[in-house]
Amino acid sequence: MANDHSQIIGKLPVAAGALAAVAAASPCFFSRAESLRAAMDGSARGGLDRLAATGFALAGLPGADVARALCVALPVFAGFVAVGWLVARLPSRFQTPGRLGFFAIALAIAATGLFEAFEAARSDIRDIRLLAPVDLLEKAGEGRAFLNASALAAARLLSPGLASRAPDARSIGAIAFSPVRWREEDRRAPFQAILLAVPLEDSRPLVEMLESMPEWKLTKLDNRGLLYRRGTAENSQPGNETAFGNKRDSALHDAQAAMVLHFLGKNNDAREMMAQARRAAPGNHLVLAESATLAAALKQWPATKKDAELALREYPSSIQARYLLALALLETGKISAAADEAAALPAKASSIPSVLWLQARISREANDPTAEITALEKLLVLAQKQKEEATIIHIHLAQAWARRGFAVQALENYNAALKGKLTPAQRKELENAGHTIQERASRLNSPAEGSKP
């Protein structure tokens, strides 16, 4: 009997580790947007996310879910087995408290994982058409295509043939912001289609250029972006052509499409479509957050605040809604309340550039250069990691350091900004600011007038 009892005790750490591992991995099955992001990143850059891309290739989004879950569960399980092995070899007087601590940690991890799974399920979007430009990719047709960065990321995973007929990521980054360079590339090897997936703001110069080119027509507009083709008849109104499984998904499609209409300047159509989405799914926090986003884009701050608060009432963990509430409070002069809302954003929001810019703005308005520098330094790290232009970040950092009275750090950032892309007027302004700081620092460091050296 004693031997049987010891065998049961010996197996408990393995069972507890398995329970903790499964629970810790469970949120991966209720966060399809994150699975798709991981699969797209894996198809482009490899690394650990490559497993999600492989899972997607084998079984679609469920396969990516399983791959992500394994990446969480296996290390957790291995860790618990190793700790259980160590606890079993402790001196006898330490084994009981060691086992109690072991099981307490396993229970805490399991409870946290199940809670996160429940929270993720409340905002999970299962239909890939609400996450990626699936219909636009299918209708892009043959021939060379220009894809913006987000469309290229989706095409690598969902339509590799189309991605192979498009410029690579580095070329896209070089020509997307310059209509002149885009025209040069088009003359060198003509494009037959242009697919611009959300987010669309970086594509505004290109869209404005296309509006003046009669040979290009907006062939399809939907909730995930825009498709232009040469000489094809225009159909610029989004339509919910494919049925969704429930009213919430249909409403979310309309809410997303409303934002694309707003980007094109069709604000009346955007308002009408957003109202349609609100009627179809009243009280849904995802639709309310999109409604708050449209209100913010239209600078209707009272409406932004109201919709964001309603969304947070339904789902307090919404990063989008809390960000918009903080923005609305900032824009209406309620700086202290805006700072409170920004501080309430979850830790994972600290890697979102728009959140960091908002925190920097709020800190500047609150005359808190230390907090502003913290947010800007995080932005700088992200920009350097993504190899993005960081000139504007350096300018704000220089100003913040100057307000704190740190001349060396201010000058370092002004000099870094001067290496970036600037207009002659901007360059002159920065040079003057740098000279002013140098003169002030020299006066502070020089002996007082009349004193002996």
Break the chain into its structural domains and give their ranges. Answer: 8-124, 130-230
- 79-119 pLDDT per residue, tens: 988 888 888 888 888 877 888 888 899 999 999 999 999 99
CA atoms of 314 and 281, how far apart (whole Å): 13
- Answer with the residue of higher pLDDT: 327 or 15: 327
pLDDT at 48 over 80: no
- 150-205 pLDDT per residue, tens: 999 999 999 999 999 999 888 887 787 788 899 999 999 999 999 999 999 989 99
CA atoms of 407 and 375, how far apart (whole Å): 19
pLDDT at 275 over 90: yes
- 205-226 pLDDT per residue, tens: 999 999 999 999 999 999 999 9
Burial 402-424 (b: 16+ CB within 10 A, else e): bbeebbebbbebbebbbebebee
Q: What is the pLDDT of residue 11?
A: 60
**Of the candidates 280, 316, 310, which has an alpha carbon nearest to the alpha carbon of residue 295?**
310
Cβ partners under 8 Å of residue 110, min gap 6: 19, 20, 23, 24
Instruction: Calculate what percentage of the chain has a pLDDT beyond 70.
Output: 93
pLDDT band at 453 (very low <50, low <70, confident <90, very high): very low
pLDDT at 1 over 60: no
CA atoms of 222 and 163, how far apart (whole Å): 20
Q: What is the pLDDT of residue 234?
A: 55
- 402-445 pLDDT per residue, tens: 999 898 999 999 999 999 888 888 889 988 888 888 887 777 66
pTM assigned to the model: 0.87
Helices marked H in 89-128 — which ranges? 92-123
